[in-house]
Amino acid sequence: MTFTSKMRAIWSRTDSMLCVGLDPAPAKFPAALADGPDRIARFCIAIADATAPYACAFKPQIAYFAAERAEDQLEAVCAHIRRAHPDIPVILDAKRGDIGATAEQYAREAFERYGADAVTVNPYMGHDSIEPWLERADKGVFLLCRTSNPGGDDLQSLALADGSRLYERVAELAAGRWNRNGQLGLVVGATYPAELARVRELAPALPLLVPGIGAQGGDVEASVAAGRCADGYGMLINSSRAILYAGAGEDFAAAAGEAARLTRDAIRQAHR
C-alpha cells in the first residue's frame, strides 16, 4: 500500500485522526524505567501498544533519540510498530532539508534504516530539496508549511509580490506541480486556525499533519473545523507530551492510553 492509501484505510476503519508523537525524554520517565540501556525503546513501545487502539499514526521525533545516542532504539521502536501494529503508519519527524546526494542519504535513513511510511521535510531550499524524496512514490512526504511556533511568522508569513504569503505558495506547490506522485502532505500548526483553513482551501485533498494541540495550546474544535477534508478526515492531529507523560507511575502506559482515548474522542466529537 502507498502511504496515502494506508491513511485512507485507517481513517475509515478507526474513525480516528489522532497522531501520537513519540518524543522520549528520559528525565520524565517513571522510576521503573530510570535505568537500562534500552529504556527509551521500552518506554516508547509501551506507549505505542497502549495508544494503538486510538491512533491513526505514530510520529517519532528523531532528535530525541539521536541526542541520547539511541538511534538503534528508534529502529527497534519502528520495527515493533510495523510488526505489532502494521496498519498504523509511522511518520519520522526529521524535518530534513538538503539537496542532491545528501538528501538521497537522508531518504535512505528514513525509509530503509527506520522503515518509516512518511517523513517531515523542510522545503525552503526549493524543489530540489524534495526531489530525492519523490523517488519513493509509495512513501509520504510532509512539507513544513505554516508551523506551530510563533517564530514561523518571520519567514512563512512574508508577503510575496502578488500579495500572497510564502506559506500559501508552499501549499499551492504541494497541491500542484510538486505533487507528481500524489504523496505530499503539509505540516500546519493547530495554533493558527485561520492559516490552517487557508491551507485547506489551497490544498483541498492533501493530508495535513497538525501539531500544536495539548501542551502547545491549540484548540481541537477549531483545528478540525479549519482543516478537515470534505469527507471529514484528511488530518493527523498530533499530541505528544500530553499523552506520553499523562502518568508518572508504574501505570504510565495505561495513563497514556486513557489520554489518547480522550483526545481521540474530542477529535471525533469535533468532526461530527
Catalytic residue among 6, 28, 95, 139: 95
Contact 112, 138 (CB under 8 A): no
CA-to-CA distance for 263 and 243, rounded, in angstroms? 9
Active-site residue flag, 95: yes
> Which residue in 194, 206, 195, 266 sits closest to 230, CA to CA?
206
Residue 169 in grid coordinates: 505558495
Q: CA neighbours within 13 Å on the CB side: how many for 188?
A: 31
Give the angle subtended at the CA of 215 by the CAs of 231 and 89, to the nearest 5°: 45
Give the angle subtended at the CA of 137 by the CAs of 196 and 109, to the nearest 5°: 90
Which residues have a Cβ under 8 Å from the Cβ of 112 and sit 6 or more positions away? none
Contact 87, 9 (CB under 8 A): yes
Contact 165, 193 (CB under 8 A): no
CA-to-CA distance for 250 and 245, rounded, in angstroms? 12
Instruction: Report helix, strand or coil for 213.
Output: strand
Which residues are part of the catalytic machinery? 95
